[in-house]
Amino acid sequence: MKSVLVILALMCSFIASKAQEKDSVALNRKRNVPVTQYGVASFYADKFEGQRTCTDEVFTQKKLTAACNTLPLNVWIRVTNLRNKKSVLVRINDRMHPANPRLIDMSKAAAVALGYTGHGLTKVKITYLGKNKPEEEDMATR
């Protein structure tokens, strides 16, 4: 039974990586056109501190990172809180549970920068910036 579960996990991992690769290619073809999405953002629960992300990093609430199911891993995005217009640059380093209805799940540092930790959820705009880390002067919260 255990070996069957391992095989199923490996198959799912392979299928997910192929789908992600396809998404990556589609976005790279549009690199001169900003990709914008709107939805609801939440932030990670403290219980995830120290766990591994999909990029095999150790998750910390102190870094400006996020989980998103609609963008490739290791890309930079600008997230803007539509309620107060604050924005922050974050890197996608994880995935959310497929049944999660939200657009993005952010680290606490990113949620603090956007000013919504007291609310738990907020409406956001996400702008895809690409694989390269943005210039330092662009990284400040607006």
pTM (2 d.p.): 0.71
pLDDT at 70: 87
Instruction: Give the length of the chain.
Output: 142
63 burial level (CB within 10 Å; 0-12, 13-18, 19+): middle
19: pLDDT strictly greater than 70? no
According to the 3-state scheme, what is the secondary structure of 59-126?
CCCCCCEEEECCCCCCCEEEEEECCCCCEEEEEEEECCCCCCCCCEEECHHHHHHHCCCCCCCEEEEE
SS3 at position 9: helix
Q: What is the pLDDT confidence band of residue 16, given thresholds at 50, 70 and 90?
A: very low
Nearest to 92 by CA among 15, 22, 24: 24
**DSSP-assigned beta bridge partners for residue 40:** 123
pLDDT at 7: 52
Q: List, in order of start, the domains of the chain with CATH numbers.
A: 33-138 (2.40.40.10)
pLDDT tens column, 71-86? 999 999 999 999 999 9
- Element holding 38 (H helix, E strand): strand 36-43
52 burial level (CB within 10 Å; 0-12, 13-18, 19+): exposed
SS3 at position 5: helix
21: pLDDT strictly greater than 70? no
SS3 at position 51: coil
pLDDT at 39: 95
pLDDT at 46: 85
pLDDT tens column, 29-40? 544 444 899 999
